[in-house]
Amino acid sequence: MSVTRTQGQSAETGAPIPIRANGGAAIRVDGLEKSYGQQVAVRGLSFTVTQGEIFALLGPNGAGKTTTIEILEGYRQADKGAVEVLGLHPGRNGRELKPRIGVMLQQDGVYPALRTVEVLQLFSEFFADPIPPEELLERLGLKESAKVRCRQLSGGQKRRLALALALIGRPELLFLDEPTTGMDPQARRATWDIIQEQQKQGVTVLLTTHLMDEAERLSDRIAIIDAGELIA
């Protein structure tokens, strides 16, 4: 694991970061800016995520992590700068991009009246080759909660369901926004194992977190963000 200090440079030497043998850039961000009225959320942000790596955006709440990841997912439009995800523009090429990415949002509000297994079955219909819902229930420790309505799940269970929904389409790229918030220590460790398992299968992961131990445990590289800017 290394800390990204400037775009394309090693934290240790300042030399250009070598491209991995398994591919080039999965994500490119150059001069990204986003404001909400007078409030600047992201200011001149630039970084690159290499295919096959786990890359963490580390910073406190309100640092601009979620805004950045939502722009990359195509949910928000940048004011300035350029972004590229799997060679595509997330805003203009959303239809092409969506089947190739998995998204775990920070807020959990998925169909509160549906049962856990019903939500997975519903989402599986959007993909040509989904992971079977029963398999995801087992992997995410949700088997005993399969018939529980989503509104009755604990905070940690809702996060695990959100991760299951991100995985169901067998994505090339995972966006994980604060993936272990609300989880107990055992569930956190199990979630870390699942994320690392995805990397072993060739999936690129961009995660946001405010937890240093999580970033250090999971990530090949870390970019520290505060007040919308990269500070390390």
Domain ranges of the chain: 2-230
Domain 2-230: CATH superfamily, name plus number: P-loop containing nucleotide triphosphate hydrolases (3.40.50.300)
Q: Which of 100, 106, 73 is nearest to 208 (CA)?
A: 106
Strand partners, 37: none
Structure tokens that stand for 111 in this block: 């169909």
- Look at residue 16 and tell me whether its pLDDT is greater than 90: no
The predicted model scores a pTM of: 0.88
Q: pLDDT digits over 113-166, tens only?
A: 999 999 999 999 999 999 999 999 999 999 999 999 999 999 999 999 999 999
- Three-class SS state of 193: helix
Going across the sheet that includes 39-50, the strands are 39-50, 25-36, 80-85
